[in-house]
């Protein structure tokens, strides 16, 4: 009976699992279903994207642990990515919480169409990243930056891969924010080159970085405090707007159509970041964690290829940090955005990064996977030697 609830859509590399109307009351119910899922997956001998339909599916509290565990195993062994659809608000909440605890991407959608669209994007990205694996995405070579006598950055080189989440970590004053400013063209290094999407440059203006698809958030929130969330997000669309004010006055029709298209994009971001309830609220009245989320939204409104985040989780409580982590993972997953973030707290960064660069006193002291960096004696020394 579970057999017919598993459908392989070969053309789109997707296995659909239909939990519609199923009740998982005890562990044995979970096992009965998942034994069939696992067998079918094993027989197929390959990996799939998963489309999981939860309409009217009930998972009792006693069975959740097992349900999550078996799902995770199937994922690790055979999953290329998962989209979920039709979950009740309670199930949705459970999935979210599990996702936070175990740092996986929850990818929940309201309609099947949205889920299929997201699947399509995932597949496209995997294809593109395979194709682009050869070309350099972002390379920083031998960059040195001085402010008068202060050496902010000294001879730093590293490379960021397309589609990955990379982090720059290091103690205060290590040169992290300066490095982001070099990458997006605000600071001009005295030495060195930045190569982005195949173009090497020594100097660049900020708006050039933006038109090349680089967006960023700031260590200190830089929003218009008196303006609503919606209007702040609209400012993120500036570069995409063709009509200027004069033209808007002359050709009201086209300008209005354009405005509507931008608004639609912004509404999508509001939905994605779960900030519908505050869309009209002036940003200055929001708690800090939400302001940070709005700032992320504004950066996303520019539809960036490379997103630079300067301490997106600084000053947040544990819950806000978990939320932000999940959004960062989801942005990377759903939009395929390459992300370079700065964080000062090692723990958080290690959970979500593919690659880590460690700066100290303006110099690169280590780089590698989170595990490599964490066990590096030089890094441990730099961190132990500094009070936070």
**Where does this chain bind Mg ion (CB under 5 A)?**
176-177, 219
Angle at Cα 341 formed by Cα 235 and Cα 338, nearest 5°?
Answer: 75
Q: Does 172 bind ligand ADP (CB under 6 A)?
A: yes
219/235 with CB nearer Mg ion: 219
Q: Does 167 bind ligand ADP (CB under 6 A)?
A: no
Q: How far is the CB of 170 from Mg ion (least distance, A)?
A: 9
Q: How far is the CB of 219 from Mg ion (least distance, A)?
A: 5
Q: Given candidates 52, 74, 174, 309, which one binds ligand ADP under the rule CB under 6 A?
A: 174
d(CA 327, CA 64): 23
CA distances from 339 to 164, 222, 325 (A): 6, 19, 12
Q: Does 189 bind ligand ADP (CB under 6 A)?
A: no
15/359 with CB nearer ligand ADP: 359
Q: Does 185 bind ligand ADP (CB under 6 A)?
A: no
Cβ atoms of 308 and 194 within 8 Å: the answer is no
Nearest Cα residue to 345 out of 171, 181, 218, 174: 171
Stretch that binds ligand ADP, among 24-32, 98-106, 166-174, 346-354 (CB under 6 A): 166-174
180/234 with CB nearer ligand ADP: 180
Contact partner at residue 147 from ligand ADP, Mg ion, none, CB < 5 to 8 Å by partner kind? ligand ADP
Q: Given candidates 175, 189, 192, 312, which one binds ligand ADP under the rule CB under 6 A?
A: 175
Over the window 214 to 243, marking each residue x when it contacts ligand ADP by CB under 6 A and - when it does not, the resulting string is: ------------------------------
Contact partner at residue 245 from ligand ADP, Mg ion, none, CB < 5 to 8 Å by partner kind? none
Q: Given candidates 10, 131, 147, 377, which one binds ligand ADP under the rule CB under 6 A?
A: 147
Q: Does 152 bind ligand ADP (CB under 6 A)?
A: yes
Residues lying near ligand ADP in the complex (CB under 6 A) are found at: 147, 150, 152, 170, 172-178
């Amino acid at each position: 009976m579970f057999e017919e609830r598993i459908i392989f859509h070969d053309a789109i590399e997707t296995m659909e699992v239909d939990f519609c109307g199923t009740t998982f009351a005890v562990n044995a119910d979970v096992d009965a279903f998942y034994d069939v899922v696992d067998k079918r997956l094993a027989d197929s001998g390959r990996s799939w994207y998963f489309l999981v339909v939860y309409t009217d599916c009930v998972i009792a509290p006693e069975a959740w642990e097992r349900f999550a565990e078996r799902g995770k195993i199937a994922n690790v062994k055979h999953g290329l990515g998962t989209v979920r659809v039709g979950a009740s608000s309670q199930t949705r909440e459970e999935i979210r919480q599990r996702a936070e605890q175990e740092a996986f991407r929850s990818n929940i959608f309201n309609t099947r169409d949205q889920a299929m669209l997201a699947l399509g994007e995932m597949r496209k990205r995997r294809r593109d990243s395979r194709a682009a694996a050869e070309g350099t995405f972002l390379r920083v070579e031998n960059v040195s930056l001085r402010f008068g006598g202060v050496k902010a950055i000294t001879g730093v080189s590293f490379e960021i891969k397309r589609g990955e989440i990379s982090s720059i970590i290091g103690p205060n004053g290590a040169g992290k924010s300066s490095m982001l400013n070099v990458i997006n063209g605000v600071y001009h290094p005295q030495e060195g080159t930045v190569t982005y999407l195949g173009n090497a440059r020594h100097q660049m203006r900020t708006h050039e970085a933006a038109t090349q698809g680089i967006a960023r958030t700031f260590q200190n929130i830089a929003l218009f405090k008196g303006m609503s969330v919606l209007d702040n997000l609209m400012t993120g669309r500036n570069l995409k707007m063709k009509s200027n004010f004069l033209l808007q006055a002359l050709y009201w029709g086209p300008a209005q159509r354009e405005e509507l298209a931008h608004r639609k994009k912004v509404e999508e971001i509001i939905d994605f970041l779960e900030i519908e309830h505050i869309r009209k609220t002036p940003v200055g009245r929001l708690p800090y964690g939400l302001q940070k989320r709005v700032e992320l939204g504004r950066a996303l409104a520019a539809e960036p290829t490379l997103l630079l985040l300067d301490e997106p989780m600084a000053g947040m409580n544990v819950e806000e940090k978990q939320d932000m982590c999940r959004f960062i993972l989801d942005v990377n997953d759903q939009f395929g955005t390459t992300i370079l973030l700065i964080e000062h707290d090692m723990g958080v960064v290690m959970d979500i990064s593919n690659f880590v660069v460690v700066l100290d006193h303006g110099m690169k002291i280590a780089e590698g996977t989170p595990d490599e960096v964490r066990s590096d004696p030089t890094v441990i020394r730099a961190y132990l030697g500094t009070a936070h």
